[in-house]
Amino acid sequence: MRYLTAGESHGPQLTTILEGVPAGLTLLAEHINIDLARRQKGYGRGRRMQIEKDEVKILSGVRHGKTLGSPITLVVENRDWKHWTNIMGIEPLEDETEEVKRKVTRPRPGHADLNGAIKYGHRDMRNVLERSSARETTVRVAAGAVAKRILAELGIQVASHVVEIGGVKAEKLDYASLKELQEVTEQSPVRCFDPVAEKKMIEAIDMAKQKGDSIGGIVEVVVEGVPAGVGSYVHYDRKLDAKIAAAIVSINAFKGVEFGIGFEAARRFGSEVHDEIIWSKETGYTRKTNRLGGFEGGMTTGMPIVVRGVMKPIPTLYKPLMSVDIETKEPFAASIERSDSCAVPAASVVAEAVVAWEIAAAIVSQFGQDRMDLIAENVEKMRQYAKEF
């Protein structure tokens, strides 16, 4: 399975084409719209999210609620487009004044503006920021929602939550089940399980906003029900943990990734890191602990997959850092685009989507490719085999 995305932040629409999604999967627009709405929520987001109410249109690859095996085209229109038809128009402009073009010449430190302009030779950095904007993650969430449908039909559940914002850490993480984690975090404005930390996170966001600043944080994705042995140790580009790591760091503003106890492993003895193997007739092989976050040798262990991603603070600041105007080479405060002060809660939904995609893609390629019914049968056989092994 693979997908492409296209579209500018203030262009007419965002598009994704998904190739290789198996036939026979139940798929409705509402499955995708639920996740699009989840991405738009979250304390700390700016006015753009109030303007946009994202809804998907499925334009190909689905008939009467079932996938056909052919490419699936998903589009999400930008409601704000009507205000940008000149600035972002496809046709050459008749009125070439700067006012009409909304040219950007003062790159924001931390964003793609300057490097993108140098790379593609754009003197107007709007040509860069319109695509480097995280608006693109809308259709990555749409793709992830399709992946989550595949996983759901295989009895695999995916959840995400926020474990840190602006230095405030969630301490209470003792959820009894993934369902409980989902129920609590869906009600939280910062998608946090710990109510004490939630309050402090909101305060930290308010404080950053007041100062014209931004803050980042850490999100966690948990996936339960993946059978052991998905991915591979035999070649570097088939290691599933590596693919997930790349997917996480490909999210705008994500700078780090860890599995299970992650970087903490560097500070412990091996005996305090590796998970002891146990066996019972009912469950087959499991681990006493899950410090490695569900991976050994690039393959799933059958334990929950636990992956965390670090999001840096958003680069656009209402009290901007200094930059250089590329026209005059004079120092200037960086440009201000309409912006969030914290998008960590929304980013956790994006992380959930990209992780779901990688896992679904690995399962589809390993267990049958073309048909949902055969994939489901093969996954079940694998579960049984692993138990009796």
By CB under 6 A, name the one of 16, 105, 137, 348 that touches ligand FMN: 137
185 near ligand FMN, rule: CB under 6 A: no
What is the x/- site pattern for ligand FMN, positions 257-296, by CB under 6 A? ----------------------------------------
| 18 touching ligand FMN, by CB under 6 A | no
Q: What is the 3-state secondary structure (H, E, C) of the chain?
A: CEEEEECCCCCCEEEEEEECCCECCECCHHHHHHHHHHHHCCCCCCCHHHHCCCCEEEEECEECCEECCCCEEEEEECHHHHHCCCCCCCCCCCCCCHHHHCCCCCCCCCCCHHHHHHHHCCCCCHHHHHHHCHHHHHHHHHHHHHHHHHHHHCCCEEEEEEEEECCEECCCCCCCCHHHHHHHHHHCCCCCCCHHHHHHHHHHHHHHHHCCCCCCEEEEEEEECCCCCCECCCCHHHCHHHHHHHHHHCCCCEEEEEECCHHHHHHCCHHHCCCCEEEECCCEEEECCCCCCCEECCEECCCCEEEEEEECCCCCCCCCCEEECCCCCCEEECCCCCCCCCCHHHHHHHHHHHHHHHHHHHHHHHHCCCEHHHHHHHHHHHHHHHHHC
- The reply to whether 133 sits in an annotated binding site is yes
Q: Is 289 annotated as a binding residue?
A: no
Among residues 9, 105, 323, 339, the one that binds ligand FMN under rule CB under 6 A: 339
Q: How far is the CB of 170 from ligand FMN (least distance, A)?
A: 19
Does 313 belong to an annotated binding site? yes
Query: Among residues 46 and 304, whose Cβ is nearest to ligand FMN?
Result: 46
Q: Does 314 bind ligand FMN (CB under 6 A)?
A: yes
For residue 131, say whether it is annotated as part of any ligand binding site: yes
State yes or no: residue 252 binds ligand FMN (CB under 6 A).
yes
Min separation Cβ 14 and ligand FMN, Å:
13
Nearer to ligand FMN by C-beta: 133 or 300? 133
Instruction: Could you list the residues known to form a binding site for NADP(+), using ranges.
Output: 39, 45
Q: Which residues bind ligand FMN (CB under 6 A)?
A: 46, 111-112, 132-134, 137, 251-253, 314-316, 339-340, 343, 346-347, 350
